Amino acid sequence: MSAPKPPVARRDPKTFQQLGRTRTDDYAWMKDENWKEVLRDPKILRADIREHLDAENAYTKAMLAGTEALQAQLFAEMKGRIKEDDSSVPASDGAWDYYVRYEIGAEHPVHGRRPRGRSDGEVVLLDEDALAKDKAFFQVGAAHHSPDHRLYAWAADEQGSEYYTIRLKDLATGETLPFQIDSAYGDFTFSPDSQWLFWIWRDENARPSKVFRRPARGGEDVLVYEEKDEGMFLGVGKTSDDSHMVVHVGNQETTEIWLIPAGDPTRPPFVAEPRRVGVKYELDHWTDRWVIRTNADGAVDFKLMASSAEIPAKSSWTEFVPHQPGRYITGFAAFAGHLVRAQRVNALDEIVVMARDGAEHVVAFDEEAYALSLEGGYEYETTLTRFVYQSPTTPRQWFDYDMTSRERTLRKTQEIPSGHDPARYVARRLYATASDGAEVPITVLMLKDTPLDGSARLLLYGYGSYGHAMEPSFSIRNLSLVDRGWIWAVAHVRGGSDKGWGWFLDGRKEKKTNTFTDFIACAEHLAANGYGALGEMAAYGGSAGGMLMGAIANLRPELWSGIIAAVPFVDVLNTMSDTTLPLTPPEWPEWGNPVEDAQAYDRIASYSPYDQVAPKPYPAILATGGLSDPRVTYWEPQKWVAKLRENTTGRAPILLKINMEAGHGGASGRFDFLKEIALDYAFAIWAAERGWEK
């Protein structure tokens, strides 16, 4: 039988003049001029674009038809590791315990509560699976009960566009209130007196731009705060002691916080400390003082400051926990008698508990690579905090920790119904030396008897943007490759905060290429030490990690048997030049502004994966996307694949799979999502076996 023929995209050159520079885009036509409307209603996508996407999906399905049995097997394995009737550890608040649980076969959870300390008397707050029935996509972004326990509110996205609708339920009657809030961001909060709902409006460019307050049981919206800078994100919340409402304004490098006293929730907000470019801060009220986490005054890895002032302006800050280079303070939580901070040292997490008298102690673990995270609770007047421990070999464990007695109580261990023996596996922490001498951590997971002679297949995962750290966590998905003799490796490249905030700063803007060269250095180090072989490795990354995939495909295509680029941000120059797109102004601090800055233009053009595609033998590539994705729009992977296919001089196939009913996160159901991962892994195995074709 003859091989399936890939779609051939028409070339329709469009020329752009910008800062005295000229670029031509042959595939700009793939961007629907009515993309904003398409986000809200994907059915109106222009016919020629839909026809091409359908052809791409059909080609990918035909090319991977031989892997369908493998996909089904991988999916069954992953699903078999999920406890289908699972439930969260209840979180206590007053007279109630709140939790979510799944029923067997359900894609989405039930939100419930029951009387505190009891296992009966459940009240169903929200049945997501019932609401999702007959919907191709359904995702709850946030759900909260009111402080008086009388209302339950949730924000739902029904097409993946991240335009949410907020609804409220009266828990006394069980009835949904007869109004809804449309065009909302997925973030909202009740006032501590339960009388008001603070929510964020998402504008026509899909950006959060205004905070509104409305009576919780319905009424007129009142504008609380409007952000004029299109480059800022918004968030709303409360301080831990319920003394203030908080409006958070910020981007990747700058923060401003506005406060409203909880005792006067209709009062206009006042600013804590005015924004200054490059200064980040967050704050909480710890009964009698403010605690502020900030990078001000050169505290690259952040410090904690304190203020007893009514308005915690920077002039009132005093040093509380000093800056210590290499100790990255990632966050903190306030309780009546204790302050708990999370920090990361050399890509390993710690939790530090401080009493009000300043005495502190550390909670840590001994594994070579692990992840440790705080899990928020509802109660302030408590000595208990909760944390989650996991490692690549150890399933998640939820502990309640008594901050006074230092006693740990294991509340739950993630159950793997199909079985899991940690002793079969080994997790290791390696270090690759980058081209400039930086030591780049690598976390490796493999079977104990996997040979280190280069014969094992290896998948290398990476991200490296926005300061997001790749935690060495437990994954029910990765085991399906590892159990087949593969080595799973994560490259903790610069651009993430794995080794501190400076690690992030060394992988952004003018230093962005460090992210790409670090990843390549990790691949070479692994191969040099027998963890797989160059030319036979798979690379995997999504979103900004998809940019990494595009960059390493251009830089070193010969290293990879296959590359999986999930919702890949690959059309960087065009996207960062289009001010109508949702994330363009907010992301200029990360990449630079090519609209006004010629140096930024040239820098981005020098690595933008789409712009750097050139005639060379590319490896097999699978690019995936979502039609209603507002973050990485569908046309980025569509254009990239068309240009790759036009330029590749090799025989390896270039594939595109667009989910026509989802957004950035892929399928919304817990099992449907696994089918997408199974496709990715089947592609990696298939590409490695074909080789192309040796």
Query: Which residue in 143, 165, 163, 162 sits closest to 153, CA to CA?
Result: 143
- The CA distance from 527 to 491, in Å, is 13
**Helices 513-528 & 598-607 angle (0-180, nearest 10):** 30
Active-site pick, 543, 577, 608, 668: 543
The answer to whether the beta carbons of residues 519 and 460 sit under 8 Å apart is yes
Q: Which two tokens stand for residue 189?
A: 């909060």
Q: Residue 260: CA atoms inside 13 Å, Cβ hemisphere, count?
A: 23
E strand or H helix at 599: helix 598-607
Q: What residue ranges of the chain have pLDDT lower than 50? A: none
- The CA distance from 511 to 505, in Å, is 8
* pLDDT value of position 1: 58
* pLDDT value of position 204: 87
* pLDDT value of position 189: 98
pTM: 0.95
Active-site pick, 111, 145, 338, 664: 664
Active site residue 629: yes
- Exposed/middle/buried for residue 671 (C-beta within 10 Å: 0-12, 13-18, 19+): middle
Q: Which two tokens stand for residue 403?
A: 């901050």
* pLDDT value of position 668: 79
Active site residue 543: yes
How many other CB atoms are there within 10 angstroms of residue 621's CB atom? 29
Active site residue 475: no
- The CA distance from 559 to 522, in Å, is 12
How many residues are recorded in the chain? 694
Longest dimension (CA), the chain: 77
- Exposed/middle/buried for residue 337 (C-beta within 10 Å: 0-12, 13-18, 19+): middle
* pLDDT value of position 94: 97
